[in-house]
Structure 1
Amino acid sequence: MDSFGDYLQEIGRVPLLTDQEEIYCSRQIQAWLQYVGGPEAAPAQVRRRGRRAKERLMAGNLRLVVSVCKKKMGNGLELQDMVQEGSLGLSRAAEKFDATRGYKFSTYAYWWIRQGLNRAISQQSRTIRIPSNRRELLSKIKQVSSRLTLQHGDQPTLQQISDHLAITVEEITKTLADDQRTRCCSLDAATTEGGRSLLDRIAAPGEEPEVTDMEEAVQAALGRLNKQDAQIIRMRFFEGHTLAEIGRSMSISREWVRRLETRALINLRIQLRISPALISL
């Protein structure tokens, strides 16, 4: 299977779930994720049933992702990119769905899918194009990532994608990094001195349900940045210092701090994208 069209045909053949199947899947997922001590502490059988239930719930609703994405076309993202982002919203919905509340999973998932797409559209409108050979490789990476997500119910690691494509992890990382450097319009835009917070710069307005998870992801990504990049981001967005104040503390000019801030935000965005789970936030 070598094309996005084949992927769409594959998900189109997956049967829809009945109400009873949705309830069963929801119970198995919650038994796994809410296990005392955490999901990883759950017995192997509980983890296996939970993962399979999540895979089944997602597989039966991937057509909904495509349907929502088609309505959003023309907003700066390709359909394949939107399906990728929408699938992440679907994954989150599968983890949080509570069938005892009485509504169908598709009704609940629709909000998460749309939320993911709205954020992606606001953050990832492309301003610079990368070479066609890189775009082709990026397309393959996303196809494999989507397929592995469907198969395992979770985002694949870089090593798993590397094994499937028979290329190095370094090559995947470079391709994703090139891609992210063309998607910086919301992260590296100039910040006013009264400025918005880092979370405001990463998450779209009105997306409170994911703020806690985003904060955790940002903190983890900061730990993978070099010392200077991490220091600038913490001082600028977490401690509220102005560019001039940061410049004085580091004995550099205000304009140089702005340049370093732009670089740091780009690197942070790359880390958020290529951290252990490939498609992260």
Structure 2
Amino acid sequence: MKKEHSAKQVGRYETDFADDVVEAYHYPEVNKYRLLSSEEEALLGDAIQQGRRAALRLEVGDFADQQEEQRLQDKKRDGLHARDGLIAANLRLSMFWARRYGRSLDLVHDLTQDGYEGLVMAASRYDPSRGCRFSTYAKWYIRETIHRQLPYYETFRIPIHSYDKRTALRIARDTFLKRCGVEPSPQELADATRLSLSSVMVLMNDRLLVSLDGATDEAYLRKAIGSNIKDEKATNPESHVLDKVVEQDLLSHMRLILKPREYYIMHEWIICERTLKDIGVELGLSRERVRQITVEAKAKLAQDPYVVQAIRET
């Protein structure tokens, strides 16, 4: 049977973590919380587990009298205090893993807060009877919460396994550069990260994201990068003008062939892209009658050689 701990015993490790959690994320503030020994972690872990069991009994009403209920309330409160103390003493874990994935100070701070969610979850479930230190147990929760949030900090989503490879490659490069003072070769990076040489080459050749509003290398051009990218869907200005000339010529010829009402309906339907129903409402005709007029007009145009030739050329 596990030894029960009173609120006074657990109180030795209480902190003002709940009120000071925001300030604790700043690097100088984290150092004011001391690291715990394995015995202290076991003490807090036992109190957390007893608090969880007490909370469950209180939730289902499993107590005989008010005295037992008060004892369960004390255990629940002691468990929460123990959890806060365990979290405060291990804030460095969240910062450690955030630095491994963060490429800027702002991103490190954001990932530290994301990792805190995993730290809270791990502290709430920590059971020292499993025979491992809290840092080993909490590592998986912290990494998982950070991994889930990483895609939201990217311009486009990157698979998490690819992100891990890029992070390992960056760490290996920085370590080699600091140790040897020169850039590592692809083979040296492959040996350090245990990745294949082809994977390292692909990761190294990934292009950086650039802004389309950024300036080009040729300063004398004074143009943005986006202005040098060709729009494949854009219309050639000369062809556009020529099409307009042919269109106006064709419309003028259609005016000579069709009756005024037929020409107006065809112009509004084809050129202005109005619906037959809208045209019918304007002219006081039914949609079916407007459709019949378009059929008659198309039959007249199909018999004119000039119109047929113009349509074939376009």
Which TM class, normalised by the smaller chain length?
A: 0.3 to 0.5
Higher RCO (C-alpha under 8 Å, 6+ residues apart): 1
Larger Rg: 2
TM-score, scaled relative to structure 2 = 0.36
